[in-house]
Amino acid sequence: MVREWDPRIATAREITTLVATLNDCMAVDLPDDPPWRDALMREYLSVIMPGARKLSWIAEEHEGDITRGEPILGMASMLLLGDIGVVEIIVHPSARKQGLGRELLRTVVATAHAEGFTALGVEVPGKTDAVPFYESFGFVRAFTEIRSVLQLDKVDWFTLGEFASGVAAGYRLQFCPDAPPEDLIEAYASAKASVQDIDLGDLDLKPSSHEPDRLRASLATLHARGLRPYIVVAVHEPTGDVVGLTEVVVPAQHPSRADQYDTIVVPGHRGYGVGRAIKALMLFELRSHEPRLTEVQTWNAAINEPMIKVNQELGFIPDREWLEYEADVADLAARLGLR
């Protein structure tokens, strides 16, 4: 049975049960990824950016299984951003290919259709059961990224030091744990906004932060979800502008593997070693501040050749495709017999 579920009011046992189900799925779908820990997991599941809304559902064999600590069969969520709903569905390996994924998707689509949303998007790791599942319901691949992983115990730290100091004259690098300093917030947001006209073709399934107040809210949301951000900026000393930045987030839920977020070099300041230097300095700072960290993962569009080259120089190894799919809600509703 599928029912709505709210992690904000769930018991500790329910959260623990959900994490166990997630790890059972991870062991099959992404066996090389670190398992999730029940650390600030309630916050991770429930805290969202101002103006967004999130709904969640669980699938149980018997109502109340999750409350009793019995394994649950699956979970679905939908994050409502603007006019698109961002979907996530997980089904326990023991319950796959029995129609449960369809029932969870049907529940999500019924809600999206009733609330007037026109499109759904989903991120899918390549080479998993999720790929044929979503394609079977008419989801169309809209964007492909390559995930790459850096093993910190294989880093050539001597060469990395040369990279970190190899930026051209006139640029100052600054490490900012938790957030950029307030006197750089506007310049930081401006640097992010400078690349918004560059179309990489992605669906923009994550909340964006390209103006100061939105950026502050985004950073507060990360902290509240148990995701500690680390930032390195490159400041152009003659102007004081932030012309480069890189962001890495270390989740409390899997502290051995960090997530690379944005890396940006403002047009007009490329070709001076800024991108490579800020990412190299970041790795040194992570080694110092996060002793449990063993890996960093990053995602790049195949057409973003300059950043792919930088990542290869640093030692990132391509891991698998990461796919974004989209579908029209009305079409989905028809396919699922909802209208």
Please report the domains of the chain, with CATH numbers, ordered by start residue. 2-145+324-335 (3.40.630.30), 156-314 (3.40.630.30)
Q: Among residues of the chain, what percentage have pLDDT more than 70?
A: 96
pLDDT digits (tens, 9 = 90+) for 89-116: 999 999 999 999 999 999 999 999 999 9
Q: Say if residues 332 and 133 touch (Cβ distance below 8 Å).
A: no
pLDDT at 205: 53
- Max CA distance (Å), the chain: 66
Q: Which amino acid is at 278?
A: I
Give mean pLDDT, residues 12-22. 96
Is residue 75 classed exposed, middle or buried when 0-12, 13-18 and 19+ CB atoms within 10 A define those classes? buried
Q: What span, in angstroms and rounded, lies between the C-alpha atoms of 235 and 240?
A: 6
pLDDT digits (tens, 9 = 90+) for 111-152: 999 999 999 999 999 999 999 999 999 999 999 999 999 999
User: pLDDT band at residue 197, thresholds of 50, 70 and 90?
Assistant: low
Continuous H helices in 180-266: 185-193, 212-224
Give mean pLDDT, residues 312-321. 94
Give mean pLDDT, residues 46-62. 95
Tokens encoding 182? 């307030």
Q: Say if residues 101 and 133 touch (Cβ distance below 8 Å).
A: yes
Give mean pLDDT, residues 162-171. 95
